[in-house]
């Protein structure tokens, strides 16, 4: 197995774990912050949470201003 294949599989595992985490209770804001903290990009977060990139970016910007990130 090549390095690229390993990286792709690890990325997939991370995304699956993130999707599983999103089944838990919690606000959309909290989920966005947690997914960002584990290293997902805003576009990936938006896809997982079925929301817009803009909403994720604004939420992350506000979280940074509030010292949450």
Query: What's the total number of domains in the chain?
Result: 1
Q: How far is CA 19 from CA 10, 13, 61, 65, 66, in A?
A: 14, 10, 22, 26, 25
Q: Going residue by residue through the chain (69 aa), what tens digit of pLDDT does each one get?
A: 899 999 988 888 887 787 777 677 789 999 999 889 988 899 989 988 889 999 999 999 999 999 999
At residue 38, the pLDDT reads 83
Q: How far is CA 34 from CA 3, 19, 22, 69, in A?
A: 27, 12, 10, 9
Range of the domain at 45: 3-65
């Amino acid at each position: 197995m090549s390095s690229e294949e390993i990286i792709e599989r690890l990325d997939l595992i991370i995304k699956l774990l993130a999707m599983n985490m999103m089944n838990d209770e919690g606000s959309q804001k909290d989920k966005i912050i947690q997914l960002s903290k584990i290293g997902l990009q805003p576009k990936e977060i938006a896809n997982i949470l079925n929301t817009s990139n803009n909403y994720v970016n604004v939420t992350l910007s506000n979280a940074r201003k509030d010292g949450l990130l």
